[in-house]
Amino acid sequence: MMGGQTPILVLKEGTKRDTGRTARDNNIQAAIAVADAVRSTMGPKGMDKMLVDSMGDVTITNDGVTILKEVDVEHPAAKMMVELAKTQDNECGDGTTTAVVLAGELLRQAQDLLDANVHPTIISNGYRMAATEAKKVLKKNAIDITATDDRKVLKRIAKTSMSSKGTASSMEYLGDLAVEAVMSIVEKVGDRTQADIDNIQIIKKQGGSIRDTELIKGIIVDKEAGNAGMPKYIEHPRIALLNQALEIKKTEVDAKIEITDPLGIRGFLDDEEATLKGFVDTLKQAGANVVLCQKGIDDMAFHYLAKNGMFAIARVKKSDLEKLSKATGAEIVNSLKDLTSKQLGTAGALEERKFGKDALTFITGCRNPRAVSILIRGGTEHVIAEAERALHDSLSVVSDVVEDGTYVVGGGASAMEIALALRNFASTVGGREQMAIDAFAKAVEVIPKALAENGGLDPINILIDLRSAHARKQRNAGVDLKTGKVTDMLKLEVIEPMRVGTQAIDSAVDAATMILRIDDVIAAKGISKEDMARAAQAAGGGGGGMGGMGGMPGMM
């Protein structure tokens, strides 16, 4: 000030800025906090979290990505961890907790290096080198499935992914179901095997128990027939898919029809009836006995359809119609006028089944064998929701392995192999990167450590035992949470897709290095509620404001 120099304002007033070590430490702390929050859910002995959203809705889950999606994190670095979990979920459908916990641990280890004045760029480089090496180790230890339909192995993989979910008691049953479902959608695309689980339709109906969950080889429409007199079962149905309403069009303008004698009313109503009847006749002539319509159907039309022994549902979702079109070979018809028997589709059977108060319509034995659905049942909404998440994970891991053909040993065994290999690798690298590679080795040990902690075991003892077992070339040694001992996890059938491991390494390293390299956080001034109110007032009352100004001199 005294020097006469005015400070140069580059940033808007109110902008918050953290630089250097402060910025980095804040980011690291926030990211570690997120990782620590999900750490206790990891593994078969992980605990659940109960999340209550602002509307009071409750979610009880053990699923990393679900927890992070539900909680409202504020800090930008914490948000990056949430993104990391989402990426992991999109790429493999499992391993979200692992990826987040690993990223958190990489950052925790990095803090020590930063304290020792190792530059963040060096740490990042070291972490990248370590990641490449770690993926090589995974690949070297990976086991190939002997055949794409090795159901026994696939089921074990499904069970491992479910063992940490609340549905663990129904694992056998759901595991079989997941494998069967994925096997029915596998296809060859070029020389690649593809198992896109988006082709598996999931429908939930409260009631019964998880054991009543079933795999339907076909499509389920979450609706019932529009008229109680319609048949409940049709063999080899001839299906019409309509995108035209079976209703009399209401005029856009308010029209008044003046009818002066009773016969006139009769005539008017007869006209309406005739049109609706005409619709039904067209459908019948084309040979259809099932009508699934995206638009509305008049009650009178429903009545005629029922009288003709036909089955019809109105307002079927567009996505359902598209699925039905693929599955039954029916074409979605935009105008009834064009309907011919060629556009109809067919299936083995159509059946309406009652579940409590409402009913669902099943179209089974479809022409396209890749049309499958899973109907999840369960006593409460929460049970169903967790079963859905467990199924999502198991369908994902089975499809990962079917597509890639490789799996690795879980329960911390692969992580310990990586740690061992990285320690050897570090000494060959030299330089300061070596320190980062060593830190990476320490960080991956967080996986068996967290499994042990959550299982109520002493993590230090377990780590010591694990390190010596792996040094003695017992590469499948992991944590057996039942006995509390270090055991061969392959024998215990704890196996998981290699993709889950490689992706977890990739996304954790990406997130950690990104956070490490930030040394300047410039945050725009947050908009407070008062600011918003003021802005709204200014925008809404432009004219009034001027009037107020005009009045000011008078007030003075």
Has 121 been annotated as catalytic? no
Question: Is residue 91 part of the contact set for Mg ion (CB under 5 A)?
Answer: no
Distance CA 421, CA 424 (A): 5
What amino acid is encoded at 358 in this protein? D
What amino acid is encoded at 134 in this protein? A
Per annotation, catalytic residue among 59, 63, 66, 400:
63
Out of ligand ADP, Mg ion, none, which partner does residue 44 contact, by CB within 5 to 8 A per kind? ligand ADP
Distance CA 478, CA 490 (A): 9
Figure out which of the listed residues 66, 160, 294, 503 binds ligand ADP, where binding follows CB under 6 A: 160
For the CB of residue 411, give the shortest distance to ligand ADP in the complex, in Å: 3
Using the Cα atoms of residue 512, residue 513, residue 519 and residue 523 in order, give the sign of their dihedral. negative
Has 97 been annotated as catalytic? yes
Using the Cα atoms of residue 404, residue 406, residue 412 and residue 416 in order, give the sign of their dihedral. negative
Using N-to-C axis directions, what is the helix angle for 120-141 and 413-429, rounded to 10°? 130
Out of Mg ion, ligand ADP, none, which partner does residue 411 contact, by CB within 5 to 8 A per kind? ligand ADP
**Site stretch for ligand ADP (CB under 6 A), options 17-25, 52-60, 96-104, 204-212:** 96-104
Has 96 been annotated as catalytic? yes
Site string for ligand ADP, 493-532 (x = CB under 6 A): -x-x------------------------------------
Backbone angles phi, psi at 251, to 5 degrees: -70, 150
Question: Is residue 164 part of the contact set for ligand ADP (CB under 6 A)?
Answer: yes
Figure out which of the listed residues 94, 105, 133, 351 binds ligand ADP, where binding follows CB under 6 A: 94
Bridge partner residues of 240 (DSSP): 291
Per annotation, catalytic residue among 94, 393, 400, 438:
393
Site string for Mg ion, 394-423 (x = CB under 5 A): ------------------------------
Question: Is residue 64 part of the contact set for ligand ADP (CB under 6 A)?
Answer: yes
Kindly identify the residues of this chain, within the stretch 106-165, that bind Mg ion according to CB under 5 A.
161
Question: Is residue 438 part of the contact set for Mg ion (CB under 5 A)?
Answer: no
Nearest Cα to Cα of residue 399 among 238, 180, 215, 206: 180
Q: Please tell me whether residue 379 adopts helix, strand or coil conformation.
A: coil
Per annotation, catalytic residue among 96, 364, 502, 513:
96
Contact 474, 413 (CB under 8 A): no
Size of the site for Mg ion (CB under 5 A): 2
Figure out which of the listed residues 89, 91, 94, 480 binds Mg ion, where binding follows CB under 5 A: 94
Nearest Cα to Cα of residue 507 among 139, 91, 110, 196: 91
Site string for ligand ADP, 29-48 (x = CB under 6 A): ------------xxxx-x--
Between 96 and 513, whose beta carbon lies closer to ligand ADP? 96
Has 36 been annotated as catalytic? no
Distance CA 484, CA 448 (A): 12
The two three-digit tokens of residue 281, written as one number: 């006749």
Site string for ligand ADP, 423-462 (x = CB under 6 A): ------------------------x---x-----------
Question: Is residue 479 part of the contact set for ligand ADP (CB under 6 A)?
Answer: yes
Using N-to-C axis directions, what is the helix angle for 120-141 and 96-115, rounded to 10°? 140
Question: Is residue 97 part of the contact set for ligand ADP (CB under 6 A)?
Answer: yes
Between 283 and 504, whose beta carbon lies closer to ligand ADP? 504
For the CB of residue 448, give the shortest distance to ligand ADP in the complex, in Å: 8
Between 100 and 300, whose beta carbon lies closer to ligand ADP? 100
Q: Please tell me whether residue 480 adopts helix, strand or coil conformation.
A: strand
User: Cβ atoms within 10 A of the Cβ of 140, count?
Assistant: 10
- Long-range CB pairs of 206-209, under 8 A, 24+ apart, other chains included: 206/356, 206/377, 206/378, 206/379, 206/380, 206/381, 206/384, 207/355, 207/356, 207/377, 207/379, 208/377, 208/378, 208/379, 209/377, 209/378, 209/379
Site string for ligand ADP, 376-415 (x = CB under 6 A): ----------------------------------xx----
User: What does R_g of the chain's alpha carbons equal in angstroms?
Assistant: 31
For the CB of residue 53, give the shortest distance to ligand ADP in the complex, in Å: 21
Q: Please tell me whether residue 529 adopts helix, strand or coil conformation.
A: helix
Size of the site for ligand ADP (CB under 6 A): 22
Q: What are the residue numbers of the active site? A: 63, 96-97, 393
Binding site for Mg ion (CB under 5 A): 94, 161
Binding site for ligand ADP (CB under 6 A): 41-44, 46, 64, 94-98, 160, 163-164, 410-411, 447, 451, 479, 481, 494, 496
